[in-house]
Structure 1
């Protein structure tokens, strides 16, 4: 076994093999599922090198060349490798050489748009960790026109029945369409927010992850991401165009039109007396 000060930590090694995030790999180590050089290892501080023999579930694992792709998910397929209901999955659109990649987060069956798949466990952890607050922007169409008060609710937080969900930015496009940016990852968050506002989503498309956009990528297609694009996913841009600030405007208008508070004044006689002096 290699010296603990050499090589890389065991969880990082496992993540580089495409096993999962470092946190997920820590759990596998704690459960005693990882064997290093013939011995079960539960030491989270252990370091290994390429010369060590690492096994998971009695199968040797080796670092893979990391690959990350951007997939434009069409409506009607689910984000899973094996679906118990035998529905079409996103992997039907990918060649056999990419079947080992794991989707980062998910889009529900009726949603469309950008989805990242990778075997880089560390990158997957960065993109999904709540503290990183990686933005995701969606184009939303609902079944009916709505007032700006609904957008206010989304910005200030709306109770979905399980938690209070917030929009980071929101921009109205038409009576029934808007762009919404979130940096949290609650399950079906936008659909639940709309439902709480008595709206039904008719179309939901993820159009941005961090600063990365589709740039002409057609539905059902994918492209391999280079290092520059991977970095773009981790950087949130400043909001472009005019975002919704209806509440602030109304408060300002109300403040301008409000009548000044009446001050107590002296009686008329005393005022006249004062003027004469």
Structure 2
């Protein structure tokens, strides 16, 4: 299996020994060894084959866990927030492992978010060469034309960056209220991508929800609820990310 590298402080944090910030302090203080050698550089990366020790105690890796969360609007896709706003891990207090979100959903965006302590799977899902299909549904002020939505698949420029969708189509339109429901499918996952694409086309997104990630969806979940992925789903997710790779 391909070996994925992760930053040393992240590996320490995910093991449950300390927060990432505290782990950084431990590294700079010379309290961490990798394969028997003291490491003080914060940029150091390790794989799961490397032997890591903190204060001479070997790091024991938690068993990997994988959760699917229906993130509500008004929640931060992070494990902490300096403004004391609600973060996604506040919604899953019963989980003992130190999990973290795979990617992000904006504060005002709801929908499917994965949480895990599985670093290898996270890197597979987040790596740009592994194209994971993500389906979003947006409520938009105005009714885009087919020509305007075709721009999404050709690519839209925003802040000097090209943003591109796999497809974009109107699901329904309310001509009285002047609003529409639009489905947008992405492989990319750039910051605020769907909102920025609509803004660049002259439309305001009133609501945005991620309904599907790969083959996973929100069926059976209410907003704020979560469930554990089955072992078969985890295996499928890994295979899905690798489906076009040799």
Q: 1:95 to 1:147 in 2, by over 3 A?
A: same
Structure 2 residue aligned with 1:188, among 182, 188, 192? 192
CA contact (8 A) 2:109 2:207 kept: yes
Closer/same/farther in 2, CA of residues 206 and 43 from structure 1, 3 Å limit: closer
Between stretches 108-117 and 222-231, larger displacement belongs to: 222-231
Post-superposition CA distance 1:50-71 (Å, at most 9, x none): xx6x225876421111000000
SS at match of 2:169: strand
Q: 1:201 to 1:231 in 2, by over 3 A?
A: farther
Is 2:22 the partner of 1:18? Answer: no
Of Structure 1 and Structure 2, the greater helix share is in 1
CA 1:46–1:18: 2 relative to 1, 3 Å: closer
Residue equivalent to 1:242: none
Residue aligning to 1:161: 159
Residues 157-193 of structure 1 show CA distances to partners (whole Å, capped at 9, x for unaligned) of: 1111231111112232023111111011110000000
> What TM-score, normalized by structure 2, do the two folds share?
0.76
Bigger shift: residues 169-178 or 179-188 = 169-178
Residues 67 and 226 of structure 2 are in contact (CA less than 8 Å); yes or no, is this contact kept in structure 1? yes
Deviation at 1:227, TM superposition (A): 2.4
Matching residue of 2:221:
217
Q: In the alignment, which residue of structure 2 is the partner of 1:64?
A: 62
Q: CA RMSD in A?
A: 3.2
Moved more, 81-90 or 92-101: 92-101
Instruction: Please state whether the residue corresponding to 2:185 is helix, strand or coil.
Output: strand
What residue is the counterpart of 2:177 in the other structure?
A: none
Task: Give ranges in structure 1 of 5+ residues lacking alignment.
Answer: 1-7, 20-27, 237-277
1:139 aligns with 2:104: no
Distance 1:187 1:17 in 2: 25
Q: 1-side partners of 2:47 and 2:215: how far apart?
A: 35
Contact 2:12 2:59 in 1 (8 A): no
CA pair 121-46 structure 1, distance change in 2 beyond 3 A:
closer
Higher strand proportion? 2
Query: Could you say if the C-alpha distance between residues 193 and 58 of structure 1 is closer, same or farther in structure 2, counting changes exceeding 3 Å?
Result: farther
Rg larger for: 1
Say yes or no: does 1:170 pair with 2:174.
Answer: no
Distance 2:209 2:4 in 1: 38
Cα offset for 1:34?
4.7
Partner Cα separation in structure 1 for residue 102 and residue 108 of structure 2: 17
Runs of at least 5 residues in structure 2 that lack an aligned partner in the other structure? 16-23, 174-179, 242-246
1:117 to 103, 107, 115: 115
Matched, 1:200 2:204: yes
CA distance in 2, matches of 1:213, 1:45: 31
Shift of 1:228: 2.0
